[in-house]
Amino acid sequence: MTLSIRNPEAEALAKQLAKLEDSSITNAVIAALKEAVAARIARESPTETARKILARRGLAFPENRQPVSPEVYHDLDHDLAKDF
């Protein structure tokens, strides 16, 4: 699989990071992407991610939204087990 960097600024940053880390550009990009993904996960909960996705589509969670109780999942699991 190939990743091609065609943006001069991105290429310069990748080269700078590789030099700072004394690594290849590929390893520097991998490390930077891993750090970016980890930072994103750490600062944004799944609910916040869902809110962003809904907002991009002009949607939102209902204001009076309540979590589903564990009993609902239990009942659903038993209902599905009957189908087998």
pLDDT of 36 above 80: yes
Contact by Cβ (8 Å): 51, 60:
yes
pLDDT of 84 above 60: no
pLDDT at 81: 59
41-83: per-residue pLDDT in tens? Answer: 889 888 899 999 999 999 999 999 888 888 887 777 776 656 5
Identity of the residue numbered 34: K
The total number of residues written for the chain in this structure: 84
Contact by Cβ (8 Å): 3, 29:
yes
For residues 77 and 39, what is the distance between their CA atoms, to the nearest angstrom? 35
Query: Which tokens belong to 23?
Result: 């690594």
- The secondary structure of the chain in percent helix, strand, coil, rounded to multiples of 5, reads 70, 0, 30
The model carries a pTM of 0.53
